[in-house]
Amino acid sequence: MNDADRISQAVAVARRYGGIDGAHHKQWVIDQMLRVLLCEQEYARLFLDTRGPNGEPDYYAPWDAGIAP
């Protein structure tokens, strides 16, 4: 899949589900968009490389994939 297709699919996810109320559903939308935009290895690495505001590992904000609407 090329970049334009991935972007188009991510936008489609946002348009279809982004307006559903509830923070846990919004988290799911963001997670699904990232899964479309990134390859599997990039997606996994994204959370290993997450850092806090001072560059330290962000142990207090583990990734939450949310709940599907």
Which pLDDT tens digit goes with each residue over 11-60?
A: 999 999 999 999 999 999 999 999 999 999 998 888 776 666 776 766 65
- According to the model, what pLDDT value does residue 66 have? 84
Q: What is the DSSP letter of 53?
A: T
Mean pLDDT within 52-69? 73
- Burial string for 18-55 (b: 16+ CB within 10 Å, else e) reads eeeeeeebbebbbbbbbebeeeeeeeeeeeeeeeeeee
Domain boundaries, the chain: 1-69
pTM score, two decimals?
0.78
Residue 29 has what pLDDT?
Answer: 96
